[in-house]
């Protein structure tokens, strides 16, 4: 079937089976490999993308659901050579990315929280910040430095 959707701000139209996973289409057909497959069942968060602005695990999204909608991946956050998103920069500064495999999904989850915060949709506290990334498994860092990066990014963004 033909699926037309918005991808990182551009309209795309591709041939795809209805049950093809969005993750495979992004990685295999469109060459966007920032989203990773860590588990394939929506438990680890490494494949996180935005679908109509909502954070989803792209391994759980069949292409039939993507038709006419808008997909945003980590690639859209920073164009090559452009300055990084503050959370990306702070993840580097705090050494909050070790092997890096969870980092794309972790950043999407952190950015999702910061956007919801800016829209006034969340009651911001330490617990809420932890909950925002609790669906993203990191096996390297113990999360301490990732949480520090998120705290600093929110602080920088100001009230």
User: Of the candidates 34, 56, 111, 154, which one interacts with another protein according to CB under 8 A?
Assistant: 34
Number of chain residues interacting with another protein (CB under 8 A): 54
What is the C-alpha separation between 88 and 150, in angstroms, rounded?
10
Establish if 152 lies at the interface with another protein (CB under 8 A): no
In 91-101, which positions are buried (b, 16+ CB within 10 angstroms) versus exposed (e)?
beebebbeeeb
Binding residues among 76-135 for another protein as defined by CB under 8 A: 77-78, 80, 84, 88, 91-104, 107, 130-131, 133-135
Binding residues among 42-61 for another protein as defined by CB under 8 A: 43-44, 46
Q: Beta strand pairing status for 10-15 and 2-7?
A: antiparallel
Query: Shortest distance, CB of residue 144 to another protein, whole angstroms?
Result: 5
Stretch that binds another protein, among 6-14, 62-70, 115-123, 141-149 (CB under 8 A): 141-149
Identify whether the C-beta of residue 29 lies closer than 8 Å to the C-beta of residue 16.
Answer: yes
In the sheet with 10-15, reading across from the earlier edge strand, the strands are 10-15, 2-7, 70-72, 48-51, 54-57
What tokens does 115 get?
Answer: 């956007």
Binding mask 10-29 for another protein (x = CB under 8 A): -----------------x--
User: Of the candidates 16, 48, 58, 136, which one interacts with another protein according to CB under 8 A?
Assistant: 136
Backbone angles phi, psi at 57, to 5 degrees: -90, 115
Residues at the interface with another protein (CB under 8 A): 27, 31, 33-41, 43-44, 46, 73-75, 77-78, 80, 84, 88, 91-104, 107, 130-131, 133-147
């Amino acid at each position: 079937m033909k699926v037309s959707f918005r991808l990182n701000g551009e309209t795309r139209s591709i041939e795809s089976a209805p049950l093809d996973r969005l993750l495979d289409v992004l990685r295999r057909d469109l060459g966007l490999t920032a989203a990773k497959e860590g588990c394939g069942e929506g438990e680890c968060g490494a494949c996180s993308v935005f679908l109509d602005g909502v954070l989803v695990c792209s391994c759980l999204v069949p292409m039939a659901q993507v038709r006419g909608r808008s997909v945003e991946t980590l690639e859209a956050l920073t164009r090559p050579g452009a300055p990084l998103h503050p959370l990306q920069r702070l993840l580097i500064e705090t050494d909050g990315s070790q092997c890096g495999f969870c980092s794309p999904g972790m950043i999407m989850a952190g950015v999702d929280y910061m956007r919801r915060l800016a829209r006034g949709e969340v009651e911001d506290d330490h617990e809420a910040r932890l909950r925002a990334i609790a669906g993203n498994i990191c096996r390297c860092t113990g999360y301490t430095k990732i949480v520090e990066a998120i705290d600093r990014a929110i602080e920088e963004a100001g009230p």
